[in-house]
Amino acid sequence: MKYSVTLLPGDGIGPEVSKAMVRAVDFVTGGRIDWEPVVAGSTAVDQGLSPLPDEAIDSIRRNRIAIKGPLQTPVAGGWRSVNVLLRQSLELFACVRPVRSMPGNTLARYQGVDQIIVRENTEGLYSGREHEVVDGVVEALKIVTRDASRRIMQFAFEYARSHGRKKLTIVHKASITPLSDNLFLDCARECERKYPFFQVEYLPLDNLALDLATDPTRFDMLVMGNLDGDLISDLCAGLVGGLGVVPGANYGEGCAVFEAVHGTAPDIAGRDLANPIALILSAELMLRYVGEADAADHLRAGVERLLVSGESLTRDLGGRANTSELTDALLGELDAVAGEAKGAARRPARGPAHRQPDSAR
Ligand code: ATP
């Protein structure tokens, strides 16, 4: 089946990593995705448009699914963060970031990390409520509502159930902001009662920071507010090999937007140096979301083989290849995975004579 996906190549390294991602996804899906490219961020402003043109939002609303490179908010013009605006315009309330140690990735500080970060995406300190009370005194409001807290908790517990997770760690700083954080925690407790088969712990943010640095493997799923989620996602990326390998997804009621955790990386933009794996793994999440499990497995297998080979890796992964060389090598690995799958399908199935009795299985 063919379907359309909105593609926002983004700013900075966005176009480079998006090009690599499209090549890889086209390979594993046999070109069954119609990419609908739209611009946003600084690229849109450079073309005389607003940072988040209606055309981009309309395209995502129509297709219900999008994948994007990082967007840069133009410094001049007093624009609000375009990434935040996009999440709020589409009510993308849940941000999910799976953080997993990758095989062969020698730069990873830890092996055996396999955790999912769920971040509330619409409120907290990202509500944009900041004002000067009097000269020299500024107030920034952290908004927490029962509706949004319930919604993210319900999402997180349900995500845990459907993805075979066992334990949720709910992160807070209730000793400092008791009203807002206890509202968040109360909503978690409501869910805990509805899902009694999960192990649930409530952990202050500072304890989490220490535990992540000493033993990140003890976490399964982390649920937290907007700002905490932003910081902790980058920290966790550092545990498993850096921003170049951690994917992400933003889910709303009607649509989903997939994106890597990293930003526009202006220091390496336009130089063919960026690592596209994070966006490629975001595409893996997208393929799973639309039910293309075989294509997603294929993509994942190719990436893992590439990392294990240790060849043609970008500088952030300790290699010397550029983006294009890494992508060529990945396509080679994807081809090899496809070849092996065909070979396995051609091999004759074992006859009944070879089957072990039930008791021996
Ligand atoms: P922004 O303001 O858009 O968040 P930033 O530079 O502050 O940009 P990131 O883009 O996340 O933040 O980059 C942080 C560091 O990680 C930079 O040194 C950047 O080069 C590096 N980096 C980020 N993404 C990648 C990538 N995909 N490949 C290689 N290096 C990356």
Q: What is the pLDDT of residues 103-152, one digit of tens each?
A: 886 777 788 999 999 999 999 988 878 899 999 999 999 999 999 999 99
The pTM (predicted TM-score) of the whole model is: 0.91
Nearest to 23 by CA among 330, 263, 259, 333: 330
Q: Whose CA is nearest to atom 21 of ligand 1?
A: 265
CA atoms within a 13 Å half-sphere pointing along the CA-CB vector of 321: 18
* 3-state SS assignment for residue 64: coil
Q: Whose CA is nearest to atom 13 of ligand 1?
A: 265
User: Residue 219 contacts by C-beta under 8 Å, 6 or more apart in sequence?
Assistant: 115, 167, 169, 211, 212
Nearest to 9 by CA among 50, 70, 90, 56: 70
- Series of mean pLDDT values for 10-residue runs along the chain (361 residues): 94 97 98 97 92 96 97 78 88 96 80 96 88 95 96 98 97 96 98 98 98 96 96 94 93 94 94 97 97 97 95 94 98 96 76 43 35
Nearest ligand 1 atom, CA 277: 27
Residue 349, pLDDT score: 62
Question: How far is the centre of ligand 1, averaged over its atoms, from the C-alpha of 323 (Å)?
Answer: 14
Nearest ligand 1 atom, CA 261: 11
Pocket of ligand 1 (CB under 6 A): 13, 17, 70, 72, 243-244, 262-268, 274-275, 278, 316
Q: Whose CA is nearest to atom 15 of ligand 1?
A: 265
Nearest ligand 1 atom, CA 11: 3
Task: Report residue 91 CA to chain centroid gap.
Answer: 17
Residue 265, pLDDT score: 96
Q: Whose CA is nearest to atom 1 of ligand 1?
A: 263
Residue 350, pLDDT score: 59
Q: What is d(CA 253, CA 95) in angstroms, rounded to the nearest whole number?
A: 13
In tens, the pLDDT along 274-301 reads 999 999 999 999 999 999 999 999 999 9
Question: How far is the centre of ligand 1, averaged over its atoms, from the C-alpha of 175 (Å)?
Answer: 33
User: Residue 76 contacts by C-beta under 8 Å, 6 or more apart in sequence?
Assistant: none
Q: What is d(CA 327, CA 280) in angstroms, rounded to the nearest whole number?
A: 10
Question: How far is the centre of ligand 1, averaged over its atoms, from the C-alpha of 201 (Å)?
Answer: 32
Q: Write down the residue that tokens 């109360």 correspond to.
A: 186
CA distances from 321 to 56, 109, 241, 330, 337 (A): 33, 22, 16, 12, 22
CA distances from 349 to 233, 344, 353 (A): 45, 9, 11
Contact, 188 vs 158, CB < 8 A?
no
Q: What is d(CA 314, CA 272) in angstroms, rounded to the nearest whole number?
A: 10
Q: Where are the alpha helices (DSSP H) in the chain?
A: 14-29, 41-46, 54-63, 82-89, 146-162, 178-194, 205-214, 226-239, 277-289, 293-309, 323-346
209 class by beta-carbon count within 10 Å (0-12 exposed, 13-18 middle, 19+ buried): middle
